Amino acid sequence: MRTTLPFRIARYCFLVGLALTLAPAGAAADGAAAVGLRPLPALGHGITVRLGHDQDVPPPQEPGKPLFVRLVVPWERLESTAGQWNFEELDRAVERYRDAGYRVILCLTGDVPPLPEEEDLLAAWLAFVRQLAGSYRGRVDLFQVWDRPNTQEGWGRAPSARDYSFLLKSTAITLRSVIPWAWVSQGALEGADVAFQESLFQFEVAPYIDAVALAGAPTGVSEEDLQALQAVVREHDAASPLWFSSVPASSSEALGRELIAAVQQGSALTLFDLDGEDALQTLLALHRHWSPAVSPMAVTPGQVGNVFRGTDGGVLDVSLATLFDGDAFRVLLLYMPAQGTPSGTAEVVLNTSDVSRPLLVDLQTGRQEDPDLYIPDRETDTTSMDLPLGPGPRLLVYQRFASEGTRRAPEELEVAEVASMTAEEIMALHQAFQSAQDAKLQSYLADAQVDLHFSIGTGGSLDVRYLNGFFYQRNAGAEWERRELFVNGTRWRSERMPELPLIQPDKVLILPLDLHLDRSYRYRLDGTGVVDGYRTWRLTFEPVQPDNSLYRGKVWIDQRTYARVQMAVRQKGQSAPFLSNDEVDRYRPVLGPDGSEHWVLQSLTSSQLYSVSGRNFAVNREVVFSGFRINPEDFAARQEQAYRSKHSILRDTDQGLRYLTRTPDGGREVQQEVPRNQAF
């Protein structure tokens, strides 16, 4: 018999209607509270624990979208004396999880199953099931019958599809005689056991079950075996979804890897056997962005899938699952690099240009941030975006709209007070703020740690760290005093530091620190956001003259002060060997000697890509500033001291970074010509 969804709906309505008709008034009201409110999960996740080994778990963050917990209940554990059952321990576990917002699944199992010919044992089992159902009616509506019945260890005897099918059907009948709206899953099979599943359907279990389940890691199931199992399910029981239970997750990485595989394999519910706090925190971080309306997002014919590319343009091995929230019109892209894929930044090409308000979540730490830069291409209907790659899973969430008719400009998506401000007005106020600050900020000193990671194609790499003194003076620019050098973690012992090559020195190594947003750029309000606690306007900008080698990107403007909080820029179209330059600058307020705020550059990260002799050459850079001194009285003395030292000093000029050479009187002057050994 082939079971379909219409049959299951008819069965459900009939049993519920019968129960409400025949039950006493109080019981009918109790049943009515559960009817229609607890569907099977379309795409859910949770944990699996064994009674007696369960743990205190933090609750989900929001009501209305529960995590699931599968409680494995050995019936012998609850039998205090022959024929008498004590549910106190189970009551405590069920209520603890229900109070925490979990939806409970009771997996009823044991050491030895009752066989059809063992009438006394079978009667005892069904009495247990009936009493348990009566105790949890209105509290639990999901049940699973046995665990790993296709294995000697799980079944307690030689596995028999005939014997298990009898137990499964009789248990389902007993459960629904007490809880008509109960959902019943067959026991989770170890591996994609196609032969055992086919035998169960031959014994006509399809009308009695609501889900087919597998135990263990989704990554351990071959694609061939899974497809064969799914074909058997479609043939006999088209309405039953696939669950994965007891999925091992000893770390955040393991949880991400198995969840992506489960979604790819069509799992409607994935239940993890957690072993580690970081795996639990990853699951909770993911669930904060979940919704009951989330479902897998199929790629339409002719549509290119989401692709991750490395700095050399090659496709990276990244596992991903693309999901869609039908209630909020959001796309959720869960991704994680394959083992062995180097960490860093990759360009993802999303298969739509309909992208707005993206949010990136590091599921290991729970940290959220707005992607620094994304570029839609209406002609190809794609969007390019730089995303970090690391050992753990990450979640990209972005907004989409149902149709062209409902798609609106970013300005229209914000609240009324934001809509009352135009991009031009915001930039005018920012420029007024910047002008006033420039008048007050004469100079400042800081410490600057510069980390550089050089990589050449798939070959070698080099890590360099400079500890610098940083000097900024209005109308003179910035200077870097290189005080200490570390190469691949080893401190440079010589007093004289090598003057490493400046690759394309007029363009590459650092962007101008005094880059101002002026009439050379066109601005567009792209929404609002919170950056490290600062409520900001988010604007995009691009050159008015597109053929100019200027920057394009986004800027976040503080809504209180109109200061620049963050800026993400991209520069392309330069002459060889320069290919691209992406940078994110972060600004924070520092108090001056008079107590006033001065917004200065606090940190920056960047990635530059070059092509030299047919090979790609990448430099990833991070700069962190600290120890600020605003308008210090001893600025000139500190600068002269640096000039007279043996340290290398670089100045940021209109032509880019240049070394300062010593003069006979102990000063420094700009080295105008770049020696051949310092440039490509």
Of 45-59, 417-431, 613-627, where does mean pLDDT reach its minimum? 417-431
Inter-residue contact 518 to 401 (CB < 8 Å): no
Q: In this structure, what token pair is assigned to residue 68?
A: 């699931």
3-state DSSP assignment of residue 459: coil
Residue 506's pLDDT is 38
DSSP output for 254-269: HHHHHHHHHHHTTEEE
Q: Do 462 and 339 share a domain, yes or no?
A: no
More confident call, 455 vs 222: 222
Residue that the structure tokens 């009936």 belong to: 130
Q: Do 319 and 279 share a domain, yes or no?
A: no
Phi and psi angles of residue 108, each rounded to the nearest 5 degrees, phi first: -90, 120
- Per-residue model confidence as pLDDT tens digits over 138-173: 999 999 999 999 999 999 999 999 999 999 998 998
Which range in 33-42, 156-165, 302-311, 458-467 is most confidently predicted, on average pLDDT?
A: 156-165
Residue that the structure tokens 């010509």 belong to: 673
Last residue in a domain, options 254, 287, 320: 287
Q: Is the pLDDT confidence value at 504 over 70? A: no
- Chain-centre distance for alpha carbon 447: 33
How much is the mean pLDDT over the chain? 82
Q: In this structure, what token pair is assigned to residue 268?
A: 């409607």
- Per-residue model confidence as pLDDT tens digits over 14-54: 445 444 444 444 444 454 444 344 688 889 999 999 998 86
Last residue in a domain, options 224, 252, 287: 287
Across 435-444, average pLDDT: 85
More confident call, 501 vs 647: 647
Provide the b/e sequence for 469-486 (b: ≥16 CB within 10 Å): bbbbbeeeebbbbbbebe
Q: Is the pLDDT confidence value at 582 over 90? A: no
- Per-residue model confidence as pLDDT tens digits over 347-390: 898 888 888 889 999 999 888 888 867 888 888 888 888 899 98
Q: Is the pLDDT confidence value at 520 over 80? A: no
Q: In this structure, what token pair is assigned to residue 15?
A: 């049993």
Residue 262 lies in a domain: yes
Residue 312's pLDDT is 76
Single-letter code of the amino acid located at 383: T
Residue 435's pLDDT is 72
Q: Do 645 and 673 share a domain, yes or no?
A: yes
DSSP output for 353-399: S--EEEEEEETTT--EE--S-EEEETTTTEEEEEEEE-SS-EEEEEE
Across 593-611, average pLDDT: 87
Inter-residue contact 135 to 87 (CB < 8 Å): yes
Across 285-299, average pLDDT: 84
Q: Is the pLDDT confidence value at 460 over 60? A: yes
Residue 399 lies in a domain: yes
Q: Is-cis flag, bond preceding 577, omega within 30?
A: yes
Compute and round to an integer the Cα radius of gyration of the chain. 32
Residue 29 lies in a domain: no
Inter-residue contact 69 to 104 (CB < 8 Å): yes
Q: Do 16 and 93 share a domain, yes or no?
A: yes
- Res. 578 pLDDT band, cuts 50 70 90: low
Residue 420 lies in a domain: no
More confident call, 323 vs 570: 323
Q: Do 444 and 537 share a domain, yes or no?
A: yes
| Gap between the Cα atoms of 581 and 572, Å rounded | 7
- Per-residue model confidence as pLDDT tens digits over 187-234: 999 999 999 999 999 998 988 899 999 999 999 999 999 999 999 999
Give residue 444's domain range. Answer: 437-678
Q: Do 394 and 443 share a domain, yes or no?
A: no
Residue 59 lies in a domain: no
Residue 561 lies in a domain: yes
- Per-residue model confidence as pLDDT tens digits over 394-410: 999 998 753 343 333 43
Q: Do 490 and 628 share a domain, yes or no?
A: yes
Q: Do 513 and 609 share a domain, yes or no?
A: yes
| Gap between the Cα atoms of 106 and 141, Å rounded | 9
Q: At 331, which helix (H) or strand (E)?
A: strand 330-337
Q: In this structure, what token pair is assigned to residue 511?
A: 């962007």
Residue 372's pLDDT is 67
**CATH number for the domain harbouring residue 358:** 2.60.40
Residue 476's pLDDT is 82
- Res. 411 pLDDT band, cuts 50 70 90: very low
Query: What does the chain come to in residues?
Result: 680
Across 287-316, average pLDDT: 77
Report the share of the chain in percent with pLDDT over 70: 80
Q: Alpha carbon of 230 to those of 97, 238, 239, 366: distances in Å?
A: 32, 9, 12, 35
- Per-residue model confidence as pLDDT tens digits over 539-551: 988 777 765 556 7
| Gap between the Cα atoms of 157 and 424, Å rounded | 76
103 half-sphere exposure, CB direction, 13 A CA radius? 22
Q: At 197, which helix (H) or strand (E)?
A: helix 194-202
Q: At 350, which helix (H) or strand (E)?
A: strand 344-350
Which range in 68-77, 274-283, 382-391, 607-616 is most confidently predicted, on average pLDDT?
A: 68-77
- Res. 59 pLDDT band, cuts 50 70 90: low
Residue 233's pLDDT is 93
Q: Is the pLDDT confidence value at 654 over 70? A: yes
| Gap between the Cα atoms of 20 and 31, Å rounded | 7
Q: At 541, which helix (H) or strand (E)?
A: strand 534-543
3-state DSSP assignment of residue 47: strand
Q: Do 463 and 349 share a domain, yes or no?
A: no
Across 584-608, average pLDDT: 91
DSSP E strands in 532-666: the ranges are 534-543, 552-558, 564-572, 578-591, 597-612, 615-630, 648-653, 656-662
- Res. 256 pLDDT band, cuts 50 70 90: very high
Is 296 exposed, middle or buried (CB count within 10 Å of its CB: 0-12, 13-18, 19+)?
middle
- Res. 493 pLDDT band, cuts 50 70 90: confident
Closest by Cα among 263, 275, 266 to 241: 266
* Distant-in-sequence, close-in-space partners of 649: CB < 8 Å, separation ≥ 6: 479, 480, 481, 482, 642, 643, 659, 660, 668
DSSP output for 195-229: HHHHHHHHTT-GGG-SBEEEES-GGGS-HHHHHHH
- Res. 437 pLDDT band, cuts 50 70 90: confident
3-state DSSP assignment of residue 334: strand
Across 578-599, average pLDDT: 87
Of 114-123, 274-283, 495-504, 656-665, where does mean pLDDT reach its minimum? 495-504
Residue 42 lies in a domain: no
Single-letter code of the amino acid located at 133: A
Q: Do 82 and 180 share a domain, yes or no?
A: yes
* Distant-in-sequence, close-in-space partners of 57: CB < 8 Å, separation ≥ 6: 47, 69, 97, 100, 102, 280
Q: Do 125 and 253 share a domain, yes or no?
A: yes
Residue 297 lies in a domain: no
- Report field, pTM of the whole predicted structure over 0.85: no
Q: In this structure, what token pair is assigned to residue 583?
A: 């940078």
| Gap between the Cα atoms of 121 and 302, Å rounded | 58
**CATH number for the domain harbouring residue 197:** 3.20.20.80
Domain count, the chain: 3
Q: Do 586 and 493 share a domain, yes or no?
A: yes
Across 468-480, average pLDDT: 89
Q: In this structure, what token pair is assigned to residue 254?
A: 């393991």
| Gap between the Cα atoms of 517 and 216, Å rounded | 55
